[in-house]
Amino acid sequence: LTKPLSGRVAVVTGASSGIGESSAEHLAGLGARVAVLARRADRLDEIVSRIQKNGGTALAIAVDVTDAASVQAAADRVVSEMGDADLLFNNAGVMLPAPIEELAVDQWQHQIDLNITGLMNVIGVFTPQLVKAAGERGVSDLINTSSVAAQNIFPNFAVYSGTKAYVTHLSRHLRVELGAKNVRVSALEPGIVGTELQSHVTDDGVRQWLEGTKETMQWLTPQDIAETVGFIAALPPRANLQQVTIMPTRQP
C-alpha cells in the first residue's frame, strides 16, 4: 500500500526536539524521506536512527539556521542525497517573553535573528527546490510555524508575538505568490504545546504564568502538531490550508 506522503522529500527545521522532532518522525511514518535540521547533531542522529528502525529514510544535517552560508550548504546536501525538497516545515524558533521595560535587548535580538532572519534564510535557499519539485511532481508545501501569539495578546509577549505576526503575514503573501507555481504555503499557529520552548524562558513572571496555565488546561502535545502537519501536506494538490490555529481546548 502506498503511504500518503510516499515519494515526497521533506525538510524539517528545529527537528532536534519538540514539535519538529515529532513532525519529522510522523512525516517519515507517512512515507516521506526526511532531512532533519537543527544545531544538536547528537539529537538529530538519534532521531534518524529511530526513523530508520521504523523503516523510514532520514538524513541528519547539523546547521544553525541564522548562518546563511550553512543553510545553503544544507540545502545542497538535501538535493544531492535526497533530491529537491517538496515539503519544507520551517519550524525552528525561540520564545523569550519578558516585560518590555526590562530591556532584554539580547533576547529581543535572539528572537528576531532566529524567528525572522533564520526563517528567511531557510525560505531563501529552499524556495527554488520547492518550485522545481512542484513543477515536476505536481505540488509542494511550505509550512511556517507561527503561533497563536500572532493573533492574540498575551502579557509580556510583545517581541515574540511581533516575530510570529511577521511569520503569519509573510506566509499569506507567499501563498499568493508561490501558489501560482503550485507551492502551497501555510501558517501553523499553535497555542501552548509542552516542549523545550518553555524551558528557555528566563523571566520569572512569565515562567510562573506559564506554570499556572497548567492548572486550568491540558497543554497540546508535539504529536498533536505533527498530525496537523501531516494532514496539511497530505491534502489533494488543489487544497491549501492557508492558516491553521490549533489550541488546547481550554486555552482562552
Which residues are tagged catalytic?
A: 160
Out of 6, 40, 99, 124, the residue judged to bind ligand NDP by CB under 6 A:
40
Q: What is the DSSP string of the chain?
A: ---TTTT-EEEEESTTSHHHHHHHHHHHHTT-EEEEEES-HHHHHHHHHHHHHTT--EEEEE--TT-HHHHHHHHHHHHHHH-S-SEEEE---------GGG--HHHHHHHIIIIIIIHHHHHHHHHHHHHHHHHHHS-EEEEEE--GGGTS--TT-HHHHHHHHHHHHHHHHHHHHHHTTTEEEEEEEE--B-SSGGGG---HHHHHHHHHHTTT-PPB-HHHHHHHHHHHHHS-TT----EEEE--TT--
| Interacting residues with ligand NDP between 182 and 201 (CB under 6 A) | 190, 192-193, 195-197
| Residue 34 found at the interface with ligand NDP (CB under 6 A) | no
Out of 11, 14, 26, 178, the residue judged to bind ligand NDP by CB under 6 A:
14
| Residue 95 found at the interface with ligand NDP (CB under 6 A) | yes
CB of 91 or CB of 127, closer to ligand NDP:
91
| Residue 93 found at the interface with ligand NDP (CB under 6 A) | yes
| Residue 66 found at the interface with ligand NDP (CB under 6 A) | yes
| Residue 90 found at the interface with ligand NDP (CB under 6 A) | no
User: Which residues are near ligand NDP by CB under 6 A?
Assistant: 13-20, 38-40, 43, 64-66, 91-95, 114, 118, 145, 147, 190, 192-193, 195-197
